[in-house]
Amino acid sequence: AALGVAIARAALTALGRAPHREQVSSAAAAWEGVYHGNPSGIDAAAAAHDGCLWFQKGAALEPLALSRDLVLAIGIAGPPASTKLMVDGVARLRERRPAIVDKALEGVHALVKNARLCLESGDLPGLGSLMNYNQMLLSGLFVSTEGIERCCALAREAGALGAKLTGAGGGGAVLALCDGDSEPILGAWRAAGIDCFSSTVRASRVTR
């Protein structure tokens, strides 16, 4: 998605056209569809915009104002899996067990709505708990792995407020919310041979 956004911006600029966000997002979504089959669109939208966003497929993006910085640790829990295969796997599970999958997805939706409140109010412990619950639901959809679960557990043991997989699952990265300092989590991951880094999303007012 990030590569699609970069190429869309470059192509529009080369054509002498201003790379407006809507055009860039649309082009990147089409690019992502080739590789991922039926992407949510959130990755392309996040890559094309700044800060935190409220995203619903088919609806307009809504910027969110953070009242506190988000200090994040990102650990590479394993080789990335094909997003298309992971999405197709959840779709097949839904065909076999629709009630279970629908209930899990309803739970994720409820967690996301509450996470928005935590982001806007600065309730980082609450946000971390919601991340942990989200990871449990994703595990139930069989998109987690042993490496992801280990990475999450190490982060929590080292003081992370919450940890969950990011992306489609099946491998890839884990996102851990830190209580101000990412070094304890990064140190625990490095000791376990896990590649990692940190990032901070700064609190700021919404700019529309």
- Could you give the CA distance from residue 129 to residue 117 in angstroms, rounded to a whole number? 13
Please count the other Cβ atoms lying within 10 Å of the Cβ belonging to residue 197: 13
* Annotation says 43 is catalytic: yes
Contact, 93 vs 141, CB < 8 A? yes
Q: From the centroid of its chain, how far is CA 184?
A: 22
- Could you give the CA distance from residue 27 to residue 45 in angstroms, rounded to a whole number? 11
Residue 103 has which token pair? 């209930």
| DSSP assignment letter at 105 | H
* Residues designated catalytic: 43
